[in-house]
Structure 1
Amino acid sequence: MKTIVLFLLFIPSLVIAQSTITGKVLNASDKTPVPFASVFLSNSLVGAKTNDDGSFTLNNVKAGQYDLVISFIGFETHHQTVTVSNNVLALPDILITPKNTTLKEVTIGPPDPKRDQNLQVFINEFLGHSVNAQNCTIKNTDDINLSYNAHARILSASSDDFLIIENKALGYIVKYQLGKFIKNYAQGFLYYEGSVLFEEMKGKPAQQKRWLKARQQVYKGSDMHFFRSIYGNNLQEQGFKVLRLIRKTNPARPPDSLIRAKLRLYGPFSKAQPGWADSAKVWSAKYKLPKALEYLVSKPMPIADYVIQTDNKAILALKYTDYLYVIYTKRSNADNNGSIYHPLDMPTYPSTIIGLNLPYAVFDSNGILGNPTSTTVEGDWAGHGVADLLPVDYEPLISKP
């Protein structure tokens, strides 16, 4: 009986209608075909090469909104938003622009003595801090461009070509063309973006089964799972609970700039000047005060309080005041990444705080945000990086009794 249950764990949850995208890629300068260009839907398993006449066909595309990416050596990377709903989507001819071939000035100097240190920071933040990150390897770290601004305390990174990431935890080869990576130490802020193509690794049946199970574990409670549950109107059944978090600036805590100035003034001379040691203690205590006062409304929010329908029936949007406090109740003993506000009378469920950076944040049925800069997350989701990234066309599995 146990063997039957384990086998049924890996039956797909449902059959999804698939569509096809067709088109042709041309050189914008002379309208000639561009053969062998890479064409793919970012953050998916769907990709192809253009033929001799520049044409391409992308098969097995789920309905939804995608970032269509065209990449070819000597041309600017092309991005185009496409919305798939019909069986075949025929795109107008796509023109890609040759790169400016002006030679850049090259400064030859000694190697950056802190590159290895900064590279390790990048790898840790980019891959994430989960167990899966320990089984991920970036195969071409030499292609990572790193820059550190000591004055602003900002680490930046990018890549001219795809970073090849071997994810042995989930069974994917991830090709990630990194457009931007910013780690702001001063503000405690991390952001990165890029174009991504997934390829499934080949493995023995036991490996395939292990990967399927690992992907399911990553999916459960993730942002993709959350947004899909909103779209399916089954948040509670899927294990999510959404509360309102009210966060206000703490009036008792001065700005960081003032605190740092006072500590620089009193710290070095606290033993030499009468009373300055006490002043240093006062400002040190102010530094330890929370920057914000937070209050969690215990009554769950109805979806209508934070989700609106857009002009496109296939696209929804988050829109609300204050913050969303998202709890996933089907997993316990989470530490919330060590920093999230967590009342002591609450169970230890994984929790995430979502703040809006824009008036609203759109998403589709695949559970993907249209603009990744539209939100900021803290807590459980913030600890997951590329090592826990699933393709947009991932379908969860179900168990049967």
Structure 2
Amino acid sequence: MGIPLKWSVFLFSGFLFANLAPAAHLHAQNTAGYSIRGRVFDAQTGQPVPHANAFLAHSMLGDAGDEQGIFQINNIPAGQHELIVSVLGYELYKKTLRLPAATPVILTVALTPRIIPFPEIEISADTREWRKNLRRFSEQLIGTSRNARMTEIENAYCLDFRVNDDTLIATASEPLRIINRGLGYKIYYVLESFRASRTTARFSGLPRFDTLAANSSQQLRTWKERRKQAYQGSLRHFLTVLCANFDSVTTVLKRDPTLAARLQRGEASSINLLSREGFVVYRLERPVGSPQTIRRQIDPYSLIRAGTHPEDRVLTFRGSLQVVYNRGAEQPEYLAYLRLGRWTRPYQTSLIEALQDSVTIDVRGRYFDTFALHTKGYWGWQRLAEMLPFEYSPAGPAN
């Protein structure tokens, strides 16, 4: 008997990008990456806006503008990124960038002022209801895992809630400051949208990560191990290895043109880096007129193809995939959520569905449409408390 895949979530770890306008000063910095330089000013007065928070979403890359509104972000890897500029009292600024850029020009960021109401808070029945909604919001955004228990929102006062037919809708008057003491990060989180019913959560946001200061070398080692655990078996880990597997098989096919035909006839098996990393992928199918779902293991190479840009790949599949990660057990907190008591199993099981014909991802395991993928099971249960910056690699400097 399988574990019920009770919780589903529209993933928030992807990126939602707008179209690129030709207004960025981009140039090759060195072999470490590229740079973005810009100036921030008030759209109404034309005066510089000092100390703007400029950053690349889902990363640790950012800069605080100076008194003249000038900022510069360095060491940016090639690929697609979303630049965010945020200042309290102004509308959020977003721009999609792809590096390297063909023509370097100067980025001028015009911010539109906005009025932020600060109502007085009184201890009342409404306040108690707000606190109840805050708990529900935190469980959906941050999660209920071990790391979630060590994570808190510092400025929860900026949140406003309303409930519509048992669906919780949340907005924030300023970016959330989230402290994750489980993984050792402070997250500056721009909440774009949030809706959660009792069975489905749909939300998106733009996080920037900073590392917390460790109290000891032991704490650093603990954070390193927990970050590794958060990465291993995650959706990002899966997508990263899926891309690497595609590249490896493509290289072999170029060397041996007859391999493709032999693969189709079942006379050879392709490279499968996913199995080496602990992943097994199944396609779930239900024949017409049958109440039974058939699970069939598939070759992961068939799920992906080359994209338009060197860093991009395109994920293409229909229906549902079941992904089993057999090198990590499901957390007791997840099993408790499913009300399975002491029942355990030493592997993680997730479902993933593509909500469009093709989904663009990149070689670092990122994808660019927030609601392009729908997950259930273990991935559907995971939340912001398990999120890592895109620079993270188990063997890299940001581990």
- Using the size of structure 1 for normalisation, the TM-score is 0.74
Counterpart residue number, 1:36: 51
Change (3 A) 1:102 1:22: closer
Contact conserved, 2:85 with 2:94, CA < 8 A, in 1?
yes
Read off the aligned partner of 2:108 and give its amino acid letter: I
**Of 318, 323, 329, the match for 1:321:** 318
Counterpart residue number, 2:294: 295
Alpha-carbon shift at residue 336 of structure 1 (Å): 11
Counterpart residue number, 2:281: 242
Q: Say whether 1:205 aligns with 2:210.
A: no
Counterpart residue number, 1:92: 106
Change (3 A) 1:26 1:116: closer
Uncovered stretches (5+) of structure 2, i.e. residues with no partner = 1-30, 246-272, 339-344
Counterpart residue number, 1:48: 63
1:110-135 per-residue CA deviation (whole Å, 9 max, x = no partner) reads 72552222211111111112111111
> More displaced, 28-37 or 127-136?
28-37
Counterpart residue number, 1:25: 40
Secondary structure at 2:371 match in 1: helix
Alpha-carbon shift at residue 55 of structure 1 (Å): 2.4
Secondary structure at 2:389 match in 1: coil
Q: Say whether 1:194 aligns with 2:205.
A: yes
Change (3 A) 1:127 1:147: same
Uncovered stretches (5+) of structure 1, i.e. residues with no partner = 1-15, 252-291, 341-346
Secondary structure at 1:224 match in 2: helix
Q: How does 1:1-400 map to 2 (within 5 A)?
A: 17-29=32-44, 31-85=46-100, 90=104, 92-101=106-115, 111-149=126-164, 152-185=165-198, 188-203=199-214, 204-233=216-245, 234-247=273-286, 294-297=293-296, 299-303=297-301, 305-332=302-329, 337=334, 349-397=347-395
Q: Distance in 2 between matches of 1:31 and 1:68?
A: 21
Secondary structure at 1:372 match in 2: coil
Contact conserved, 2:40 with 2:111, CA < 8 A, in 1?
no
1:93-144 per-residue CA deviation (whole Å, 9 max, x = no partner) reads 23323135598999x9972552222211111111112111111111222111
- Using the size of structure 2 for normalisation, the TM-score is 0.74
Secondary structure at 2:293 match in 1: strand
Alpha-carbon shift at residue 145 of structure 1 (Å): 1.2
Read off the aligned partner of 1:63 and give its amino acid letter: A
Identity of aligned residues (%): 25
Read off the aligned partner of 2:113 and give its amino acid letter: K
Counterpart residue number, 2:342: none
Secondary structure at 2:68 match in 1: coil
Alpha-carbon shift at residue 57 of structure 1 (Å): 1.1
Contact conserved, 1:172 with 1:201, CA < 8 A, in 2?
yes
Change (3 A) 1:332 1:74: closer
Contact conserved, 2:161 with 2:171, CA < 8 A, in 1?
yes
Q: Distance in 1 between matches of 2:177 and 2:61?
A: 17
In angstroms, what is the RMSD of aligned CA positions?
Answer: 3.1
> More displaced, 169-178 or 347-356?
347-356
**4+ residue runs over 6 A deviation:** 102-106, 248-251
Secondary structure at 1:157 match in 2: strand
Contact conserved, 2:145 with 2:331, CA < 8 A, in 1?
no
Change (3 A) 1:91 1:122: farther
Choose between structure 1 and 2 for higher RCO, CA contacts under 8 A separated by at least 6 residues. 2
Secondary structure at 1:114 match in 2: helix
Q: Distance in 2 between matches of 1:97 and 1:250?
A: 57
1:54-84 per-residue CA deviation (whole Å, 9 max, x = no partner) reads 3221123233322110011232101111223
Secondary structure at 2:218 match in 1: helix
